[in-house]
Structure 1
Amino acid sequence: MARNHKYSYRIIIIVTTIVVVFGIAIVFLPKSSSTNDIFLIPEGYEGDIQVNYNVAGAPKLEMEGKFDVIPLRADGTYDTSTPDMEYGLVTDQYYYVDQNGRRTPIDHSCIHVKGNGTSEVGSIITKHQYLEVTRTKCGSWGTL
Structure 2
Amino acid sequence: MKKRSFFLVVICFALVAAGCSKSAGTKLYLIPEGYVGWVHIIYDQSKQPEIKKDEGTSIFPIGKDGILKVSNKDAVYGTSINKYFYVDAKGNKVREIDYLEEIHNQNVGNAQIGEGNQVVKTLPTVESFFVGDKSLMKNDEDVYPEDEMEQTK
Answer whether TM exceeds 0.5 for this pair: yes
The more displaced of 79-88 and 55-64 is: 55-64
Distance in 1 (alpha carbons) for counterparts of 2:130 and 2:108: 12
Are the aligned partners of 2:110 and 2:122 in contact in 1 as well (CA < 8 Å)? no
* Number of equivalences: 113
Q: Distance in 2 between matches of 1:70 and 1:79?
A: 10
Q: Are residue 61 (structure 1) and residue 59 (structure 2) matched?
A: no
Q: Residue in 2 aligned with 1:127?
A: 125
- The higher radius of gyration belongs to 1
Q: TM-score, structure 1 length as denominator? A: 0.66
8 Å CA contact 2:43, 2:70 repeated in 1: yes
1:36 to 26, 31, 36: 26
Q: Give identity over the alignment, percent.
A: 25
Give, in angstroms, the shift of residue 35 of structure 1.
Answer: 5.5
Q: Any stretches of 5+ residues in structure 1 without a counterpart?
A: 1-25
> 1:56 Cα deviation (Å)?
1.5
For structure 2, the 5+ residue unaligned runs are 1-15, 114-119, 138-153
Pair 56,75 (structure 1): closer, same or farther in 2 beyond 3 Å: same
TM-score (norm 2): 0.63
| Structure 1 residues 113 and 36: CA distance shift in structure 2, 3 A | farther
C-alpha RMSD over aligned residues: 2.6
